Structure 1
Amino acid sequence: MTENNMPFSFWAKRGLARFTDYLIWGIISSFIILASSMCNAFQNIDPIYCVYAALFVAFLIYPVVEAACVARFGTTVGGKLTGISILTKNGEKLSFKASLKRAYLVYAVGLGCFLPVLSLLCLLVTVVLAIKGKEFLWDAKSSANVQSEKSSLFAKIILTLFYILLFAGVGFAAKNTYNLFNQSNVENVIFMQYWEDSRPIMEEIISEEAFASPENVKKTAENLKKLQQLILKYHQDYDDLYLEQLQSIKDIPSPEEKVRVFHEIDARSEALRMHWFAQSLRLSMLENIVAFFDEANGKYHFENGQPVFDDPDLMQAYQNFILQISGASPASENTAAQDKAETLPSLEITDEGAKEIKPETK
C-alpha cells in the first residue's frame, strides 16, 4: 500500500515506528551519558545541564543514524518491527543524501528540534496533515514513498517484548525513585511528629505556673519524664525505620548510587540522633533543676526572675549547679552528642545488603 488515502492504522504504524526508534536511541544515549558522567572532566558541571545538552546532541546526531539505516535497509529498526518501509517512488532504496535530507526535515519541521512549545505546535500540524491525507514536507522534498505491509509474527513478538520490558523498567525506576523520595523525608516526618507530640508538654514545663506550688513542681517533673520517654520511644521506632532504609539499598542496581544513598541515609540518621541526644541532655539538666524545687517543698520565692531558697544549704547547692551547667554551651552539648553518635554501630554496604560493624572501643 502507498501513502495516498491511507487508513488510520497506517498513520498509527508510522507513529509507532518513529516512537520506537526514538526510544531505542534514547536508551542507547542514556547509557552513553551515564558512562560519560563518570568522567572527571564532567565532575564540576551541573548534572542537569549535562543531561539536557547530551540528549540534545544525541537527537541532533540521530538523523544521521536514521539516514544510514534507510539508505542501507530501506527502513529503520522501528519500521522493520511495525512493517513500515521508506523507498523512492520507483520502489528503490533512497540514497544516503536523500535519506539524510528527509531525516533532518523530520527533526526540524516535524518535531521542532524537540524545543519546548515549538515541538508541540509542529506535532499538532503533523497530526492535522495526516488526518487530511496530505503528503508530509519531508517525504515530498526527498521524493520518498512510505509503504506499509503486514509485519511478521516474530517482529510483533519482539516489539511486544520490547514495550513490556520498557514499561517494567520504567515502573521499577519509578518505584525506586518513590522509595528514595520517601526515605529522604523519613527524618523530617519523624521530627515533625515528635515536635507535635512534645509541644503541649513543653508548653506546660515553661509556663509561669510550673513552679508556682509543690504540686506544680511535681507535675513538671512528671512532664520531663514524659518527654524523656517520648524521646526514647521515637528513638526506638526510628531504629527500625533506619534498618528498613538500609535493607532497601540492596535493591539499587548501581554500586555507586548504592554507596551515595547509604551515606545520605547515614548522615540524616546521625543528625537526628544527635538532636535527640542533645534534647535528652537538656531535659536531664531541667530534671536536676526541678529536683531542687521539689526538695524545697514550696519554701522559696523569686527575686528578679531568679529563685531564692529559704534553706541556705539548698541555695548554695543550687547556685553551684547553675555555675556548673552554665559552662555547658550548645557546642559542648553537640560534641557530647557527636561522641555518643560515634558509639552507635555503623553498617557496611555490600552486594548482599547492609552488614553491621561494631565500633572500636577507645
Structure 2
Amino acid sequence: MSMFFADAPEMLTLSAPCPWRRYAARWLDLLIYGLLWNAIARCIFRLNLGSGFYANWLFTLVDTAVGVLLMLLIEPVLLHFWGTTPGKWLFGLRVRAENGEKIAYRTAFARTWLVYTDGMGWYLPLWIIYKLWKNYQLCQREEMPWDEENGCRIVMRETKMKWYRVPAFILAAALVYGASFGVGLHASLPHNRGRMTLSQYVDNCNDMQRYHQWGRIVRPDGTLGEDSSTEGMVITLQNARKEQPVCTVETDADGYVTAVEMHVEMDVEAVGYVPATDVKTMMLYAYGLPHEKLSLLSLSSDITSNRDSYTRNLGSLTVTQKIEMKGLKWLDPDNSEGNFLVQTNENAKDAHFALTFRIEET
C-alpha cells in the first residue's frame, strides 16, 4: 500500500486551492467508507439496507452516522501514516504539516472532525448545501479552516490537473458502485452452497426470512411454523380466504436434500392475490440458487412468474410449477406482473386457486 502513497519531493512546493478536486476526492472517499459499511452491515450483521425497516428515514440517519464514524476512524489513520486518502491520491493531493512532514494522528483527527462539522455542516439538510457553497467560495481565496487551524495544508503534484485523472476518477467510482452491487447480490443469498443437509437448508431458509424480512419461521423439519409473525405475500382483498402453505423436504439416504416443495390453496370470494409467493422465492433463494452456486442474476422471469404452469431447468435442478384455477381469471391478462385474481362472473361459486411449486435434483 505504501508504494501507492509514496512521497515525491516536488509535491511539497504547491499549495492547493482546487476546490473541485478536493470535493471529488472527498466524495470518492465517502463512497469507499459507504461500501465498507454496506459490506459489514449486509454480510456480517445481515441487515438488508434496501428494504423494510432499513429503508425508512430513521435507518437512513443511522446509515449516515455510521458512514461519518468510519470517516472519523479511518481517515486520520490514512493521513497520519500515508499522508493521503484514496480519493486525494487519485487527484494527486497530499496533506502535510507546514514543515512538509506527515501530520500527527491527533492533528489528523482534529482536521477530519472540523471537515465534518464546518465543512459538511454536520450533514444537516439544507445546511450542508449552504456550507458546501460557502466553502467552495472560500477555497478559491484562502486556506480552509480545518487546514489553517491545525497547521497543515494540502499540496498537489501539478497546478494543472493531468487529463487522465478524470477518467480514473470515473472508473474508480464505477468500481465502488459495482462492488456495492456485488455485495448486495452476494448478501441476498445464504452462505450454505452446493448440496446441503436438511439442517443447512433450514438455516438457509431462516436466514433468508430474516434478511429479506418476509416474517416467517421454518421448523427444523423444513415445514413452515404456525407462529409466523406475518403472512408474507399472502395479500387478499374483499374476504378471500387465506391458507397456510404446506412445505415438504425430501432427503436421500445420506441426509442431503434432493427436493423441496410447496403447496397452497385458497377459495376466492371476490379479488385475491397469488398466495405464498414469498415461500416460493424463499425456496429459490435457500435451495435452488445456492445448490447450483448461482447468483440472483441467474433467475429468469419465466421461473419467477406466478401466473403460468411450467417446467424449467436451473442448472442440474428441475423447477416445476403447477397452477390450477376454477371460476377465476387474471384481473389484467395482458400484464405478466399483474397477479390479482378475480371471479369469472359475479355469480361464480366455489372459485378456487391452487399452486404447487417444486425444485428437485434430476
TM-score tier, shorter chain, comes to 0.3 to 0.5
Q: TM-score when scaled to structure 1?
A: 0.47
Higher Cα Rg, which structure: 1
Q: TM-score when scaled to structure 2?
A: 0.47
More strand by share: 2
Highest relative contact order (Cα 8 Å, sep 6+), 1 or 2? 2
More helix by share: 1
